[in-house]
Amino acid sequence: MTKHFGNPVVAELDEPGVSKDSRENLHDTSNAVPTGMANAKHEAYQRLVVELEEVFGAAIEPYVIMSDQRLTGRDIHNAVMEALDSCKSWRRSELSILEDFESYASGSRPVYLD
C-alpha cells in the first residue's frame, strides 16, 4: 500500500480493487443493514407514528370540553392494552391451527379421512 505523509492511501488508481479492499478495512461492516431494508423499517415506523397520532387524536378530541364522556388517559391505556390482548389472542389461535397441522404433517397424530 502506498504511504503518503505517514498515512495509508485509501485509493490506488493503478491497482483495481485495492481501493475497495482498503475502504472495507477502515471499519467493520459485518453488521451493516442494506439501505433498502433500513428505509423500509423507518418508513413503517413513521406510518405507525402517524396512525397512532390519528387514533390518539380522535380518542381525545374535545367534542364537549368538560364532558364526562371524554376518554381519560386511563381509558386510552386500557383500550390499547385490550387491543394488544385481542391481537395476541388472534395470533395464538392462528398458531394453534399451524401447530395442529404440524402434528398431523409430522405423523405424531394420525389423520383420519372422512
The domain locations on the chain are 32-64, 71-114
What integer best gives the mean pLDDT of the chain?
79
Helical H runs in the chain? Answer: 18-24, 35-59, 73-105
Percent of the chain with pLDDT over 90: 32
With vertex at residue 36, the alpha carbon angle to CA 34 and CA 42, rounded to the nearest 5 degrees, is 105
b/e map of 76-91 (b: 16 or more CB within 10 Å)?
eeeeeeeeeeeeeeee
Q: Evaluate whether 71 touches 59 at the Cβ level (below 8 Å).
A: yes
Task: Report residue 30 as a C-alpha cell.
Answer: 459485518
The pLDDT of residue 93 is above 80: yes
The tens digit of pLDDT for each residue in 43-83 reads 999 999 999 999 988 888 776 666 777 888 898 899 999 99
The helix-helix angle for 73-105 and 35-59 (nearest 10°) equals 130
